[in-house]
Amino acid sequence: MENEEIIAKINNFFVEDFEADETSIVPEANMRKTLDLDSLDFVDLVVVIESNFGFKVKPEDFTNIVSFQDFYDYVIANSKQVENQA
Amino acid sequence: MNRVVITGYGIYSCIGKNIDAVKESLYHGKSGIVLDALRKEFGYRSGLTGYLEPPYLKELLDRRSRLMLPEQGEYAYLATLEALKNANLDQDYIDKHDVGILYGNDSSAKPIIDAIDIIREKKNTMFAGSGSVFQSLNSTVTMNLATIFRLKGVNFTLSAACASGSHAIGLGYHFIKTGLQDCIVCGGAQETNIYSMGNFDALSAFSIREDEPTKASRPFDRDRDGLVPSGGGATVILESLESALKRGAPIYGEVIGYGFSSNGGHISNPTVDGPVKAIHMSLKDANVQANEIDYINAHATSTPVGDASEAQALHTVFGDTNAHISSTKSMTGHECWMAGASEIIYSLIMMRDGFVAPNINFENPDEYSAKLNIADKKIDKKIDVFLSNSFGFGGTNSALVVKKYKD
pLDDT digits (tens, 9 = 90+) for B215-258: 999 999 999 999 999 999 999 999 999 999 999 999 999 999 99
Query: Residue B257: inside a domain, yes or no?
Result: no
In which residue ranges of chain A is pLDDT below 50?
none
- Same domain for B119 and B25: yes
Picking from B252, B257, B202, B180, the residue whose alpha carbon sits closest to that of residue B19 is B252
Residues of B in contact with A51 (CB under 8 A): 127
Nearest 5°: phi and psi at B270? -80, 170
Could you confirm whether B14 is annotated as catalytic? no
CA distance B247 to B150: 19
Answer with the one of B193, B214, B247 that is the final residue of a domain: B247
**Residue B76 identity:** A
Give me the pLDDT at residue B193, please: 98
CATH of the domain at B147: 3.40.47.10
- Interface predicted TM-score of the whole assembly (ipTM), two decimals: 0.89
Domain range for B133? 4-247
- Same domain for B172 and B292: no
Query: Residue B255: inside a domain, yes or no?
Result: no
Query: Residue B256: inside a domain, yes or no?
Result: no
- Same domain for B269 and B229: no
pLDDT digits (tens, 9 = 90+) for B195-225: 999 999 999 999 999 999 999 999 999 999 9
Give me the pLDDT at residue B378, please: 98
Average the pLDDT over each of B35-39, B134-138, B317-321 and give the range with the smallest value: B317-321
Catalytic residue among B14, B183, B299, B324: B299
Contact B126 A40 (CB under 8 A): no
What secondary structure, in 3-state letters, does B107-123 show? CCHHHHHHHHHHHHHHC
Nearest 5°: phi and psi at B186? -120, 155
pLDDT digits (tens, 9 = 90+) for B145-167: 999 999 999 999 999 999 999 99
Contact A19 B63 (CB under 8 A): yes
- Same domain for B270 and B224: no
Is the pLDDT at B404 greater than 90? The verdict is yes
Could you confirm whether B299 is annotated as catalytic? yes
- The rounded mean pLDDT for chain B is 97
The fold of A3-85 is 1.10.1200
Instruction: Give the residue from chain A lying closest to B127, CA to CA.
Output: A47
Structural domain tally of chain B? 2
Contact B127 A47 (CB under 8 A): yes
Of A18, A38, A47, the CB nearest to B129: A47
- Same domain for B306 and B372: yes
- Same domain for B300 and B223: no
Of A19, A44, A51, the CB nearest to B130: A44
Give me the pLDDT at residue A85, please: 78
pLDDT digits (tens, 9 = 90+) for B268-306: 999 999 999 999 999 999 999 999 999 999 999 999 999
Give me the pLDDT at residue B321, please: 87
What are the residue ranges spanned by the domains of chain A?
3-85
pLDDT digits (tens, 9 = 90+) for B77-121: 999 999 999 999 999 999 999 999 999 999 999 999 999 999 999
Residues of B in contact with A46 (CB under 8 A): 126
Cross-strand pairs, B102:
B156, B186
Contact A18 B129 (CB under 8 A): no
Contact B130 A40 (CB under 8 A): yes
Q: Look up the pTM and report it.
A: 0.96
Give me the pLDDT at residue A81, please: 83
Contact B64 A46 (CB under 8 A): no
Could you confirm whether B334 is annotated as catalytic? yes
Cross-strand pairs, B158:
B104
Give me the pLDDT at residue B8, please: 98
Contact B63 A18 (CB under 8 A): yes
CA distance A38 to A61: 15
A60 vs chain B: nearest CA distance in angstroms? Answer: 15
Catalytic residue among B14, B167, B324, B334: B334
CA distance B296 to B29: 17
Query: Residue B406: inside a domain, yes or no?
Result: no
Residues 6+ apart with CB under 8 A from B251: B5, B6, B7, B241, B244, B405
Residues of A in contact with B131 (CB under 8 A): 40
Average of pLDDT values for B11-28?
98
- Same domain for B329 and B184: no
Instruction: Give the residue from chain B lying closest to A37, CA to CA.
Output: B64
A15 vs chain B: nearest CA distance in angstroms? Answer: 12
Cross-strand pairs, B188:
B104, B234
Give me the pLDDT at residue B20, please: 98
Give me the pLDDT at residue A58, please: 84
- Same domain for B187 and B56: yes
Give me the pLDDT at residue A60, please: 85
Give me the pLDDT at residue B407, please: 84
Is the pLDDT at B72 greater than 80? The verdict is yes
Catalytic residue among B162, B183, B186, B336: B162
- Same domain for B305 and B355: yes
pLDDT digits (tens, 9 = 90+) for B317-354: 999 887 999 999 999 999 999 999 999 999 999 999 99
Determine the Cα angle at B72 with ends B67 and B74, to 5°.
50
- Same domain for B307 and B228: no
